[in-house]
Structure 1
Amino acid sequence: MNWLIKKILGFTGTQKFLSIQLDITNICNLKCVHCYQPERTGGELPFSSWQKILEQYSALAEKLALKPWFGISGGEPTLSPLFAPILEEIHGRWPQAGVAVITNGTALSEKIVSVLKAHGASVQISLDGPDAERHDLIRGAGSFARMMEGRKLLLDVGIAPTFQAVLSLRTMPWIGDFFKTAGRLKVPAMSFARFVPQGRGKALAESEADRPLIGFELRDAYAKILAESRRSGVSTGTNLPLFVLLDPALGAHGKTGFQGLVVDHSGNLKLTSRADFKLGNILDDGLENLFLNHPVMKDLRAGRIEGCGTCGYLDRCGGDRNASFVAHGSFLKKDPGCWLQQGV
């Protein structure tokens, strides 16, 4: 255990957090063409079960000497009747902890916004086109206008939401326009997440309507993101795999298997929200047991990753495990987006 704690702290550097993303529902009011989570089956845990999960999380964070940090997602989390109770529970237990809510912004109301404000939550809104026409192409007719209405409700109470877009072959040419929109709206950050062809997104890729960026395509897209961020003065997320290959000061995201936890709506522990792989159910198998003892977690911590494990950038990159799983069916294979000629 002492070895693991030291290794985790070595990876996290100054970011000594054990982040946990709670996907509290898989119900959503949109049908985005790229969605990795198309099911809308319900079956969400009762509030008492979330309380038990939070108790186990508290014990694990304390054992690993890491501070708590929370992401609330879905589905569309604001549609869940447990949205406010879970936020209240987190705020009551950890009043100083960071809480970020990931939403499509279309279901926000004055009541929901007041809950967000009361519990000090930050908000990330999904923006998948820099204008109504392109956003609605991906997220459905009228979704851009409803998102902007929700954003105004947030601004009215002093919450300035950030934007995040899915980065793919289709959206790569829009990078400059994304930053122009963010700059015009005075959005504090415009970030990007790589397209993962699972769920509805798998059908999208198979139809050749869109696909993930690979190799030098991804390098050029990341370089464009950095350039546009600097030009516009709008911040962007760079604590992600592969950014260190462009600038040694970037990267250093909490590595999969070391810091991050994802819990789905049924209480299953996952390595990432975008890969359809469950380590086990927390309520049946125990969070500490799964996190510390699952063979995949042990392999990741030992660096038994094809290519990445022998790469000099492992500590500040690690490769995208989502992309690895979707491309190869394993978290322990190389990242198909990596553009290094050697090592990966």
Structure 2
Amino acid sequence: MASKLYTAIKSLNLLKKQGEPVHEALHELKRLLYSSKEWMNPFFLQLHITNKCNLNCKHCYYSKKDKKGLLTKNEIFKIIDNYNRFLKKTKQKGMIYFTGGEPLLDNNIYDYIARADELGMYTMVLTNGTLIDKSVARKLLESGTQLVQVSLEGMEETNDNIRGLGSFKRATEGIDNCVNACLDATVMMTISRLNIKDFEPLVKHCISHNVTQLSFDRLVPTGKGTRLSKELLTKLELSKFYDYIKSLSVKYRNNIAVNSCDPLWRKMISDSYGCCIGLKGICICENGDVMPCRRTNLVIDTIRNKSLISIWNSEYLRNFRRSENFEGRCGKCRDFKKCLGCRAVAKSVNGSEFGEDPQCFFY
């Protein structure tokens, strides 16, 4: 099946280079390919191409934005090629998430997406959605974007309280433009006491706008989000809320996927592997800084003049693969290797990326 899809995609790519209008058909074939077994557990690179943003969200992990030392267009191309060599050397399939700041403020994004797509990577754009008009949606499709993830924090009043006045309406219009351009659109919600009451209404809103998945993640009180520490759910509140989300995921399963990469959620629904830190993903910032996870705000190296494989094999990242390095309940947990807890929450609350996950409701 996969080999036939690769052959068909190769043929359509040739037609695309000749100027033939095959973008929708190519997108659909890639959707089938990326849902095949060989793409079940890909590595991911979260690549921040800018720190500019047109919003000022209360929970943003940025605290200040340095305008100096930002990656050039040529350097970002080199990073994509560097990542491709890493994938080949480690014999893995790869995803690349283009984000920011707001990535659509960088007009070079379409060239970056096209390069990654040409190299056979699954391409995804993480955006606030407010800049996606019909023209932008079309350019995203034509450059090879497979998925657009738009952030919403609830319904209009709640979302705009967190993200800014008018952002809900503009983001929803952006979602509609993606769907009308035959792009897959998903929504991401960062959960806290500020917005949990809006979860089911947001599910319904997503369904009405043909969103394929509503994803959610926990608030990490870092960067500007440090001011929201009191809005972090307790372990009991989180447990009850996840039970509620689980019931909604069943209730609406024929209309939309409701899911999360949160290790506690994954353990709750399927006992599958949890946090990817040090195992299946890495982050490169707009100035070349490398972080194990962007929300930890921990710089471990710089990608400038270094191979990604050398950074990946560093002693620091190896420490995340050894359970004896972890503290508190996480270090003693029999399921730790399948979970790891959320290292970003552990760092922001307990001061150590190797500390226990303070919201864990299992042990």
Coarse TM-score class (shorter-chain normalised): 0.7 to 0.9
Aligned letter for 1:212? L
Which aligned pairs between 1:1-344 and structure 2 lie closer than 5 A?
A: 15-43=40-68, 44-94=70-120, 97-118=121-142, 119-130=144-155, 132-205=156-229, 208=230, 211-233=231-253, 234-247=256-269, 249-253=270-274, 255-293=276-314, 295-303=315-323, 304-306=325-327, 307-341=329-363
Partner of 1:150, secondary structure, is helix
2:148 touches 2:184 (CA, 8 Å); kept in 1? yes
Aligned letter for 1:18? F
Q: What is the Cα deviation at residue 264 of structure 1?
A: 0.5
2:283 touches 2:292 (CA, 8 Å); kept in 1? yes
Partner of 1:216, secondary structure, is helix
Post-superposition CA distance 1:181-224 (Å, at most 9, x none): 2233332111111101111111233xx4xx22231211111111
Name structure 1 gaps, 5 residues minimum. Answer: 1-12
Seen in structure 2, the aligned counterparts of structure 1 residues 176 and 192 have a Cα distance that, compared at 3 Å, is: same
Q: Could you tell me the TM-score, scaled by structure 2's length?
A: 0.83
Q: What is the Cα deviation at residue 41 of structure 1?
A: 3.3
Name structure 2 gaps, 5 residues minimum. Answer: 1-37
Q: Distance in 2 between matches of 1:128 and 1:45?
A: 30
Q: What is the Cα deviation at residue 322 of structure 1?
A: 0.8
Seen in structure 2, the aligned counterparts of structure 1 residues 149 and 42 have a Cα distance that, compared at 3 Å, is: farther
Q: 212-221 or 73-82, which moves further after superposition?
A: 212-221
Q: Distance in 2 between matches of 1:111 and 1:254?
A: 36
1:100 touches 1:124 (CA, 8 Å); kept in 2? yes
Q: What is the Cα deviation at residue 239 of structure 1?
A: 3.8
Q: 50-59 or 216-225, which moves further after superposition?
A: 50-59
1:136 touches 1:143 (CA, 8 Å); kept in 2? yes
Seen in structure 2, the aligned counterparts of structure 1 residues 176 and 122 have a Cα distance that, compared at 3 Å, is: same
Aligned letter for 2:340? G
Post-superposition CA distance 1:117-159 (Å, at most 9, x none): 11142111101122x2221111111111111222222122112
Q: What count of residue pairs does the alignment treat as equivalent?
A: 321
Q: What is the Cα deviation at residue 285 of structure 1?
A: 4.3
Say which structure, 1 or 2, has more relative contact order (CA 8 Å, 6+ apart).
Answer: 1
Aligned letter for 1:305? F
Aligned letter for 2:361? W
Q: Distance in 2 between matches of 1:326 and 1:150?
A: 32
1:23 touches 1:263 (CA, 8 Å); kept in 2? yes
1:324 touches 1:335 (CA, 8 Å); kept in 2? yes
Q: Distance in 1 between matches of 2:311 and 2:75?
A: 17
Seen in structure 2, the aligned counterparts of structure 1 residues 110 and 245 have a Cα distance that, compared at 3 Å, is: closer
Q: What is the Cα deviation at residue 250 of structure 1?
A: 4.4
Partner of 1:163, secondary structure, is strand
Post-superposition CA distance 1:2-36 (Å, at most 9, x none): xxxxxxxxxxx984422101111111000111111
1:240 touches 1:251 (CA, 8 Å); kept in 2? no
Partner of 2:300, secondary structure, is strand
Q: Distance in 1 between matches of 2:261 and 2:65?
A: 31
Seen in structure 2, the aligned counterparts of structure 1 residues 62 and 269 have a Cα distance that, compared at 3 Å, is: same
Q: What is the Cα deviation at residue 243 of structure 1?
A: 2.0
Q: Distance in 2 between matches of 1:154 and 1:58?
A: 27
The RMSD of aligned alpha carbons is 2.1
Seen in structure 2, the aligned counterparts of structure 1 residues 305 and 231 have a Cα distance that, compared at 3 Å, is: same
**Structure with more of its chain in helix, by fraction:** 2
Q: Distance in 1 between matches of 2:66 and 2:214?
A: 31
Q: What is the Cα deviation at residue 269 of structure 1?
A: 1.0
